[in-house]
Structure 1
Amino acid sequence: MSQFVRDPGDITAIQADFASGASDPVMLLEEMLRRADEVQPHVQAWLSLDADDALRQASACRNEIKQGIRRGPLHGIPVAVKDVIDIARKPTQAGSRSRAQCKPASMNADVVAMLRAGGAVIMGKAHTTEYAYFDGPPPTRNPWHIAHTPGGSSAGSAAAVASGMAVCSIGTQTAGSIVRPAAYCGIAAFKPTTQDLSTYGVVPLAPTFDTVGWFGYRMRDVVAISDGLQPQRFKHTRSDRALRVVIMSDSLFSDASEAVTVSLKDAEMKLREAGNDVTVTKSLTSLSACLKLHQTVLEYELSRIHGALASTPELISAAWFAAIVRGRKIEDATYFDARHQLVQIQSAFWDAFANVDVLVAPAAPDTAPEGMQTGDPRYIIPFTALGGPIATMPVGLAPSGLPLGLMLCSRPGTDAALLGDALQLSKAIEMPRNRNTGGLSSRPSEQTIL
């Protein structure tokens, strides 16, 4: 395992340590800050890390715990926030020189307000690609191999957790921006049903698809984060029943690497051995058809929102400028037709899988590629366009030593059920974490190599 990869600790175990007095929010944050001193120069997950402010927050949380106040699973937990999301009194630069002089946000984004209400400790801003688009990569590196991309656009959010500099983080997904960096960095994540959470205070990319999501080291942590943000919405129910699981087969996945193909076969075998009802099924609806429709909607919307940036091309990346130019050429009728077609596809697709609990698919054609480009989002985009929640978890290491991840998907509005199902399935297929999950002092156990 790379020296830059470290388990930041199991959220449930951390809370148990807080309750027993074995640790406290200040002690935990100080460990995270020491870890940042050690690896941030190499991984570069942080755009800005405000240690003084975070320590003040952690101290307040410690005092509350001493008074018997516990705000939930995120009380005292250090969190990184993607820099397309407003934090009050801090600028939101969205990874772009065009926003270098922007004023500090006047108030918190809604998701940040939820974090603060739940007692989370906001450490600072994590790097993003420019305007959360596919390109304009930040300096962030993959903790497993710093010559490789961490994925995007939520690059810093994923790398901060994978390297042990934050226990959890917040990102956004418009195409594949949560699932892909989680898979590349060997951690777990969750994208809720599209538009399920407020995006107030989030710099928009394409509002039809823009969705706030989160990263944890493993699925158990992702479930705890969900419960800490909105327990009434994401509270999962435990079930030990056999789940109806479909392994997705589609021509879209025909170029998957051998390592990805083996990981999918291995997951299929383990899920069957765990007693689940597993079938391999092709989609009656072409997943590839979603790609062009998604691009049409995305580029139409981003060009209308950010079109003025085309007048200052020197302040934006060539790829972002080209997307705006392409989007301006899309006519209203074409845009509305694309949205209508997506609604029809969503209905037909999910009706065909009405009796299925979880759909499983590869998160990417291969492991994280070398270099700073964010990687291929083609496998994820159709499921983003289909609108349902997506959980992703690491399932092992390729022979290269880089992580492999799988997506677990379900129909829109089934977020709580998917969280519970993903937690159950993780017992069979998720890559193990450190033996001692209570904090940074633990060392990694042997990992599964496929």
Structure 2
Amino acid sequence: MSEYVSDPGRLRDLSAAMRSGALTSEALVRRCLDRIAAVDGKVQAWIHVLADEALAQARALDAESVRRGPLHGIPLAVKDVIDVRGLPTRAFSPSRAEALPATADATVVAHLRAAGAIVLGKVHTTEYAYFSPAPPTRNPWDLRRTPGGSSAGSGAAIASGTVPLALGTQTAGSVNRPAAYTGTCAFKPSTLSIGGTGIVPLAPSFDTVGAFGASAQDAAHLVGGFAGAHLRLADPRPAKPRILMLEDALIARLTQPETAARIAAFAGQLREAGLPVSRVESTVSLEAVLVTHRRVLLAEAGRTHARLPRELISPRLAADIEEGLAIPEAEYHAALRELARFRQAFWRGCGPDDLLLLPAAPDVAPMDGTTGDPSFVIPFTALGGPIATLRAGLGAESGMPVGALLCAAPGSDARLASFLFSELATRLDL
């Protein structure tokens, strides 16, 4: 294993140590700061580190007599498209080089502070959380490889052991894919289920705040810290779902042998643990969903960022904004209706306790300077349900992490979280 990879700890263990007095929040923050100093010169996940402020918050939380919940005293990283009071939100773009410090936290950050979480600082993103250019962040497993995008810093910060939790955003595959590439875990709630202000938009029909953790259970706890009560993430109930391994022409064509072997082995692990695992054919073409998602994304990105100075953004973003602006309203509306039909047709065939299993990406993190292939995540962002990224093990040849997706129907966040909070998931460290 690379010297830049380190386990930051599980939320349940950190919280238990704080309750028993074996660990303080201040000591945990100092441990994170020491790790940042040791490895982030190479990993380059962090943009701003709020050392003094985080330590002051930790001391104040240590002094409180009543714990606020599982996030009490736990530090987290925030992707730099999300406002943090006192810091500029630059979104890795020259067009925002003169952005002033935010005067208030984004709504999700405010809720997490209220729950006792500590903002340790901000981490890198691609420009405007789009595909390119990639930030300087490297994959802790192999510094020659990408950590994925757009939430590059969020995954790399956890994988390198510099923080136990992180916020990201997902419009295409920007939470679930980097989690897979960096050997971390993630939870993206149902698309459009969480509102609030203070987040740089890209395509509002898909933009969703998600969470990273050393386990998917931890990531779900983090979402529970800022999600509304309607998602019921704070009230897990026993769950033993049926796991359906999704088959589709896109998955069959793109999945590389190393990834396929690890996903098959992971499915076998779940089966051996007592879960029913079977195969199911997709009722809609994932490739068709990809095409329609892109149509909506372009139309909305164009309208959202029509006034950005083209000379101060990347050529790809500039070109795609122009392409989006050229899409007539009627075609944009037709694409929205088509996505609605896809969702209805796809989820009609799933039972109330079904979770879909598929690879998080066709292959492990690439070395070619891109942020990788989001083709497997995008359809499920568009189909609208919650998505968890789990560790499926290491590739036999590359030694790099392989991630698996568990997906549920829109609004079924509690169903997915209940499984992640279950004794079985805890035992398997999912």
Quickly name the TM-score band, shorter chain normalised: over 0.9
User: Which 4+ stretches in 1 moved above 6 angstroms?
Assistant: none
What are the equivalent positions in structure 2 for 1:322-401 lying under 5 Å apart? 322-398=319-395, 399-401=397-399
Which region of structure 1 is more displaced relative to structure 2, 386-395 or 371-380?
A: 371-380
Specify the alignment match of 1:119 in structure 2: 116
Amino acid at match of 2:404: L
Residue in structure 2 matching 1:417, options 415, 424, 430: 415
Q: Distance in 2 between matches of 1:354 and 1:16?
A: 36
| Contact 1:267/1:429 (8 A) holds in 2 | no
2:184 touches 2:390 (CA, 8 Å); kept in 1? yes
Q: 1:223 to 1:291 in 2, by over 3 A?
A: closer
Partner residue, 2:197? 200
Which residue, out of 154, 163, 183, partners 2:151?
A: 154
What is the one-letter code of the residue matched to 2:210? G
**Partners of 2:2 and 2:353 in 1: how far apart?**
38
Give the match for residue 223 of structure 2. Answer: 226
Q: Which amino acid aligns with 1:235?
A: A
C-alpha distance in structure 1 between counterparts of 2:227 and 2:254, whole Å? 38
Task: Specify which of 65, 70, 79 is matched with residue 67 of structure 2.
Answer: 70
CA contact 1:391–1:407 (8 Å) conserved in 2: yes
* Cα drift, residue 268 of structure 1: 2.3
The Cα offsets for residues 34-84 of structure 1, whole Å up to 9 and x where unpaired, read as 0000011000001111211111111111111xxx22111111101000000
User: CA–CA distance in 2 between the matches of 1:51 and 1:208?
Assistant: 36
Give the TM-score, by structure 1 length: 0.91
Counterpart Cα distance in 1 of 2:137 and 2:346: 36
Q: Residues 21-170 of structure 1: matches in 2 within 5 Å?
A: 21-64=21-64, 68-170=65-167
Deviation at 1:356, TM superposition (A): 4.7
Q: Secondary structure at the match of 2:144?
A: coil
* Partners of 1:153 and 1:374 within 8 A in 2: yes
- Matched AA of 1:417: R
| Secondary structure in structure 2 of the residue aligned to 1:113 | helix
2:266 equivalent in structure 1: 267
Distance 2:87 2:303 in 1: 26
Secondary structure of 2:402's partner?
strand
Q: Is contact 2:25–2:61 with CA below 8 Å preserved after alignment?
A: yes
1:296 aligns with 2:299: no
- Give the secondary-structure state (helix, strand or coil) at the position aligned to 1:374: coil
Partner of 1:13: 13
What residue in structure 2 maps to residue 434 of structure 1? none
Secondary structure at the aligned position of 2:405 is classed as strand
- In the alignment, residue 158 of structure 1 is paired with which amino acid? G
Counterpart residue identity of residue 255, structure 1:
L
Task: Call closer, same or farther: CA 1:422–1:62 in 2, change over 3 Å.
Answer: closer
More displaced 10-residue stretch of structure 1: 260-269 or 405-414: 260-269
Instruction: Determine the C-alpha separation between the residues in 1 that align with 2:132 and 2:406.
Output: 26
Q: Is the 8 A contact 2:49 2:121 kept in 1?
A: yes
d(CA) in 1 for partners of 2:418, 2:88: 36
User: In 2, are the aligned partners of 1:4 and 1:143 still within 8 Å (CA)?
Assistant: yes
Q: Any idea what the Cα deviations from partners look like across 1:206-236, whole Å, max 9, x if unmatched?
A: 0000000100001232233234334843125
> For 1:208 and 1:70, how far apart are their aligned partners in 2?
36
> CA offset at residue 271 of structure 1?
2.1
Q: Note the alpha carbon deviations across 1:362-385, whole angstroms, 9 max, x for none.
A: 110100001431101111110000
Residue in 2 that maps onto 1:445: none
CA–CA separation in structure 2 for the residues paired with 1:315 and 1:230: 35
Q: How far apart in 2 are the matches of 1:372 and 1:409?
A: 28
- Aligned-partner residue type, residue 6 of structure 2: R
Q: How far apart, CA to CA, are the structure 2 residues paired with 1:131 and 1:231?
A: 26
**Counterparts of 2:335 and 2:6, CA distance in 1:** 43
Question: Matched residues in 2 for 1:28 and 1:270: separation?
Answer: 33
Alignment of 1:274-313 (within 5 A): 274-309=273-308, 312-313=309-310
Deviation of 1:339 (Å) = 0.1
Q: Please say if residues 73 and 227 of structure 1, whose CA atoms lie closer than 8 Å, have aligned partners that are also in contact.
A: no
The 1:49–1:302 alpha-carbon spacing in structure 2 relative to 1, beyond 3 Å, is: same
- Confirm or deny: 8 A CA contact 1:35 1:164 kept in the other structure: yes
CA shift in 2, pair 1:114/1:2, >3 Å: same
Q: Tell me by how many angstroms 1:427 deviates.
A: 5.5
| TM-score, with structure 2 as normaliser | 0.96
Give the alignment partner of residue 177 of structure 1, picking from 174, 188, 201.
Answer: 174
Aligned length: 425
- Hey, what's the Cα distance between the residues in 1 that align with 2:218 and 2:185? 8
Contiguous gaps of at least 5 residues in structure 1:
432-450
- In the alignment, the residues of structure 1 paired with residue 11 and residue 133 of structure 2 have an alpha-carbon distance, to the nearest angstrom, of 33
* Matched position secondary structure for 2:306: helix
Which letter does structure 1 place at the counterpart of 2:305?
Answer: H
- The alignment partner of 1:308 has SS state of coil
Give the Cα–Cα distance (whole angstroms) in 2 for the partners of residues 401 and 2 of structure 1.
10
Q: Percent identity?
A: 47
In the alignment, structure 1 residue 406 sits paired with structure 2 residue 399: no
